[in-house]
Amino acid sequence: MSNGTQRNYVNAGGLYFFGEQVPTTFEEDVLACNLYLQLAASVRHDKFNEASEWRHMYLSAMSKSGFGVLRRDVQSIPLDGQGTLWNRVEQELSKWVSSALVQQAQNTFTSFADSDGEALALLKSRTTRPLSTDQIKEPEPARIETGHSLPIPVGESGSLSAVSLQLAFIDRAPAITLVFLSFKTISPLANLPFPHLIYQEQVAGNLELTKVTVELQEHFYKRLRKGVLKKLGSRFAEQVIEVEHGQPGAQTCLIP
Amino acid sequence: MSDSLILGSNLVSFVPGVPSEDRADIMDILLLAELQASERHSREKRWEAWITAYIQALANSGLRHQGLLSQPPRKITNKAAVSSEAGKLFFGIRPVRLAQEARSALEQMFMSEHAQSYFRHSFDFSSDRSDSFQIVPCEREESGLINIAVCGLNMLTRPKPRLRPWRPVEREMVLTLRGGNFIYQQETYARHREDVKKALQAAGANDLQLISI
């Protein structure tokens, strides 16, 4: 049963947007299972330095957890100063996600601006990391020559940070569109408000963007549900935080 | 109008009249059989062994096995012929209503963007590959017994033998049907229900071990 309102959550390193019609039980399954998958992928790969291996692990574990993949698209996009990062993401989402959910996401980002709550702190800690010089991988020369990849400039102060963010859009059960964004930025992250991160124009190198639409097969997942919740334990309440109308709200206890 | 759903590699189709508790039981059995068969054999590399193990697992989980379904393989050379040729493989299914249901599920699959998204690789002529899925129509008799036809379809795409070596490589698809007719009966399954549920939970725990956190 749905409660008839749009809901948004920070789920560790992801922002999850649920439409009005999504049943609460489905919402719980999506949040718990995806938190589990994030943690499982992070046990094996560093999502900042091994972003593609991390994603591969995540998606492969998904298919073993009751998610059937409907479509998938992987892109490496050079951002050449035409608009913001979000403009480009929005463009990529147009045929995958309803405009209402895109708007819901945008409202959430904007409302995040003045808040500095628990949810935002959690999201930033799970999605951004300063890189040391030896961690900066230059793109292959061949890709630069063909114009498919922009070189990575290091900031004036020598600072560069990696961002790895997941966005999830759920309009109607059982479909979920997940978007994985990885990029590097020369913006100093310490005091950067979240909207600046998503609306910035200063992406260094390419934006790595993977979109995938999956369906959670309830009958398949139900045999895992108990185990997932048991293994997550208190991490579910600690890392899944509802964001009400873009403002971090009280921690939500979805599980009785 | 039948109610179809995708479960693992099964396209399950329930003719109206199958109670929801029986549907849940049948889906448990199908899912467990798929997990058990996949533990033993690769569906992609050894489909014949996989489907044999799958049928055996269905019988072991409380479905009454009524007979095997098997047809000589059919060769096709273009995607347009897949639906009609695959449909012909279902003629031998009894009762006739289930054969119709299987054909109708297959046709729906070709018309449904959603189902094609799931099984899109199965109809790909561009590379050598082996794909498979099961169409599983289920119908309830007045007596309460539920007839189930498990129609395993394998699509093997391979280069077509060339009579003239200088001609470009063309591919053909070999469609094979293997499966079985089964009966689900509540009373018979009651003895297996708990074991199936426990086995599914155990398989789930095992899967979680493989992706531990």
- Chain B positions touching A212 (Cβ under 8 A) are none
Name the residue with higher pLDDT: B203 or B168: B203
Q: How many domains does chain B have?
A: 1
Average pLDDT, chain B: 89
Q: Which of A64, A71, A217 sits opposite B207 (nearest CB)?
A: A64
- d(CA A147, CA A143) in angstroms, rounded, equals 6
pLDDT value of position B159: 85
Q: Are B75 and B174 in contact (CB under 8 A)?
A: yes
Residue B173's H or E segment, with its range, is: strand B171-184
Q: Which of A37, A58, A220 to mutate to test the interface with B (most CBs of B within 10 A)?
A: A220
pLDDT in tens, B8-46: 889 999 999 999 999 999 999 999 999 999 999 999 999
The widest CA-to-CA distance across chain A, in whole angstroms, is 56
Three-state secondary structure call for residue B147: strand
What ipTM does this complex have?
0.80
Structure tokens of A96?
């995958």
- Within-domain flag for A1: no
In this prediction, the residues of chain A whose per-residue pLDDT falls under 50 are 139-147, 155-156, 246-256
For chain A, give the DSSP string.
---SS-EEEEETTEEEEE-TT--HHHHHHHHHHHHHHHHHHHHHS-TTTSHHHHHHHHHHHHHHTTEEEEEEEEEEEE--SSS-HHHHHHHHHTTTS-HHHHHHHHHHHHHGGG---HHHHHHHHHHEEEE-GGG-PPPPHHHHHTTSS---PPPTTS-EEEEEEEEEEESSTTEEEEEEEEEEE-S--TT--HHHHHH-S-EEEEEEEEEEEEEE-HHHHHHHHHHHHHHHTTHHHHHEEEEETTEE-SPP----
pLDDT in tens, A148-204: 555 555 544 557 888 999 999 999 999 999 999 999 887 766 666 777 778 877 678
Average pLDDT over residues B151-155: 92
- d(CA B190, CA B201) in angstroms, rounded, equals 18
Name the residue with higher pLDDT: B127 or B90: B90
Name the residue with higher pLDDT: A116 or B177: B177
Q: How many domains does chain A have?
A: 1
Q: Are A136 and A160 in contact (CB under 8 A)?
A: yes
pLDDT value of position A141: 44
Q: Name the closest residue on chain B to residue A69, using Cα atoms.
A: B118
Please tell me the least confidently modeled range out of B7-21, B79-93, B114-128, B182-196: B114-128
Q: Which of A217, A219, A224 to mutate to test the interface with B (most CBs of B within 10 A)?
A: A219
Tell me, what CATH number does B13's domain have? 3.40.198
pLDDT classification of B108: cutoffs 50, 70, 90: confident
Q: How far is CA A131 from the centre of its chain?
A: 19
- Within-domain flag for A254: no
In chain B, the percentage of residues whose pLDDT exceeds 70 is 96
pLDDT value of position A131: 78
- Within-domain flag for A142: yes
- Chain A positions touching B204 (Cβ under 8 A) are 223-224, 227
- Within-domain flag for A2: no
Q: Is the pLDDT of residue B117 over 80?
A: no
Q: Which of A36, A68, A223 sits opposite B203 (nearest CB)?
A: A223
The widest CA-to-CA distance across chain B, in whole angstroms, is 63
Structure tokens of A167?
């966005």
Structure tokens of A127?
């999605």
- Within-domain flag for A176: yes
Q: Are A204 and A85 in contact (CB under 8 A)?
A: no
Q: Which of A39, A70, A227 sits opposite B204 (nearest CB)?
A: A227
Domain that residue B173 falls in: 3-210
Structure tokens of B158?
């391979």
- Chain B positions touching A217 (Cβ under 8 A) are 6-8
Q: Is the pLDDT of residue B90 over 80?
A: yes
Q: Is the pLDDT of residue B126 over 60?
A: yes
pLDDT value of position B166: 80
Average pLDDT over residues B148-170: 86
Token pair 């892109």: residue: A75
Three-state secondary structure call for residue B106: helix
Measure A21 CA to nearest chain B CA, in Å: 20
- Sign of the Cα torsion A124, A128, A129, A133 reads negative
pLDDT in tens, B30-88: 999 999 999 999 999 999 999 999 999 999 999 999 999 998 899 888 777 887 888 88
Q: For the whole model, what pTM was predicted? A: 0.84
Domain that residue A122 falls in: 7-248
